[in-house]
Amino acid sequence: MNKLTIRDVDVAGKRVLVRADFNVPLSGTNGVITDDSRIQATLPTIKYLTERGARVILCSHLGRPKGKVVEKLRLTTIAQRLSQILGQKVIVANDGIGPEVDKAVAALKPGDVLLLENIRFHPQEEANDTGFAQTLARLADIYVNDAFGACHRSHASIVGIARYLPAVAGLLVEKEIEVLEGLLANPSRPFAELAGGAKVSDKIKALENTMDKVDCLLIGGGMAATFLKAKGYEVGLSLVENDKLDLATKLMQRAAERKLPLILPVDVVAAAELSAETEYNVVAVEKIPPQWRIVDIGPKTIDSFSEELRRCQTIFWNGPMGVCEIAQFARGTQAMAKLLAGLEATTIIGGGSTAEVVTELKLADKMTFVSTGGGASIRFLSGEKLPGVEALLNREG
């Protein structure tokens, strides 16, 4: 990575504003944190700074409050969990900016940690408002971006603030970029990409960009329906992006020209409805009932995917194989997770719901790397620049 990091700047006694990504999943009316992976992932950066006497100001979003105060999206619960795992009290501000925040920052001592309120409570954040970015910048001497999961957003606390402070990468952003750069530049071969999720449009650029770099491409999840329809199969009421059928056809033709194995499901789990109570069955892809929809890959597909993946030395996986929120339709996704966890290969999980699955199955520590950013990792693999990374200072030479 050609960007400066926190190791390249003197932070002792400085006010350091760290943009973190504490956008963790919550459940219940009390907002219980169900997966604190993103909080844990930022600990190395926070500890590095506190151990060197920095006055740490943390900034994050949670959910999509759309520029308004939403009580259940306050960061109080995040501060409590962070205090527990950090082993020190995290001070909580009542806002992202304003006189009370200024007072709290002024009172910080070396090694203290302050967490600002949900930055998306302010509509100026997502609008990348210049004045808002300047106000945030006045809180600190140095800006650190450690929110890889938000690096594809051109928001005030991601991009705007970097115009007014020395801006460097945190240890998490550094690690994420190094892993993904290595994946594209020098993977151990054979190198497989396992792609799933609902839509082709979310991943089409990544598929186009990685197609010349991988040795096999396996496509499951909802996006497989678009490829199957492009091949002439009837897919019932499955979600199909009709405007992407030509693109799917071109990708398959390109794979054939390259002699690249592009492996689609041969059987699927099809269901009458998207509910736990619905009727469902395993069917061959040629026999999907007209009023049913694809909700998972079938057992023969699990076997064919597994056979291909076992021979690979590097695997990048992004996107579930089915509607994994419903237990009956999560078997394909769980099978892939368990398979990858048992391989000797380099296994990289591309964030988002895929990361949540491997964490829920307690398999994250069995993977080589689990990214904290689904959208950001896909954008990076698409060959596109990440605004949040581009805004940081370059390393000279």
pLDDT tens per residue across span 245-284: 999 999 999 999 999 999 999 999 999 999 999 999 999 9
Of the candidates 14, 19, 38, 244, the residue annotated as catalytic is 38
CB atoms within 10 A of CB 338: 14
List pLDDT tens digits, range 110-169: 999 999 999 999 999 999 999 999 999 999 999 999 999 999 999 999 999 999 999 999
Tokens for 52, please give them: 């060197």
Clarify whether 38 is annotated catalytic: yes
Tokens of 83: 């205090």
Q: Which two tokens stand for residue 283?
A: 């069917």
Domains of the chain, each with CATH number or no CATH: 6-173 (3.40.50.1260), 187-381 (3.40.50.1260)
157-175 in b/e burial notation, b at 16+ Cβ within 10 A?
A: bbbbbbebbbbbbbbbbbb
Give the residue carrying structure tokens 């009390």.
30
Supply the Cα-derived Rg of the chain in whole angstroms.
Answer: 22
Closest CA to 349 of 376, 319, 322: 319
Whole-number average pLDDT of the chain: 95
pLDDT at residue 224, rounded to an integer: 96
Look at residue 351 and tell me whether its pLDDT is greater than 80.
Answer: no
Residue of 102, 151, 160 lying closest to 127 (CA atoms): 160
Instruction: Grade residue 23 by pLDDT with cuts at 50, 70 and 90.
Output: very high
- Residue 243 CA to residue 185 CA, distance in Å, equals 32
Q: Which of 236, 350, 352, 373 is catalytic?
A: 352
Marked catalytic residue, from 199, 205, 254, 338: 199
Note if 388 is an active site residue: no
Which residues lie across from 250 on neighbouring strands? Answer: none
Q: Give me the pLDDT at residue 200, please.
A: 82
- Which of these is catalytic: 53, 63, 182, 375? 375
